[in-house]
Amino acid sequence: MNKFRDLSVERELKVEELSLKQLIEEVSKLYTGLSVEVSGDKRIYADRNMLKDMFLNLFNNSIEWGAKKVRINIDEDVMEYVDDGKGIEKGKEELIFIPYHSENPQGMGLGLAVVKNIAQVHGWSVKAVYDPKGFHLVVEFKPT
């Protein structure tokens, strides 16, 4: 996966109808050390490969910050992604999406920038929410 390419707006959307839950479950099978629980579902028109990249980045980020469990709740308007890892420091909810900014000394600071870019290309909004129990991300399928 070329993360630099993923930040580029040149990437063309190849939209198809898909089940968001099925796609997440498909990607989560690549991770043996991470328990992923998905509740709810939504049929969406989206680029399958871009969304796979989005969830690969989210799962990698969770593992990087010590998470063992991810819970994803999907409803008509919102998807919530919550893990039991380190989480975000209060006040840094926006910083984590800036390309090349990383709170992890080994991190490149591209994963969550890619996540936000892919969501925005699909017309969705993304925000991180401070949660002392772990990383909490909210994707709104209708832009705010």
Tell me the pLDDT tens digit for each residue of 1-35. 444 444 444 568 899 999 999 999 999 999 999 99
The two three-digit tokens of residue 135, written as one number: 């990383």
| pLDDT at residue 101, as a whole number | 76
CATH code: domain 3-7+14-140 is 3.30.565.10
Nearest to 126 by CA among 44, 63, 55: 55
User: pLDDT tens-digit profile of 76-103?
Assistant: 999 999 999 998 889 988 988 988 877 7
d(CA 101, CA 58): 16
Rounded to whole angstroms, how far apart are CA atoms 128 and 92? 9
pLDDT at 95: 87
The two structure tokens encoding residue 127: 């925000």
Q: What is the mean pLDDT of residues 32-53?
A: 96
- Provide the token pair at 19: 């089940």
Report the predicted TM-score, pTM, of the whole model to 2 decimal places.
Answer: 0.89
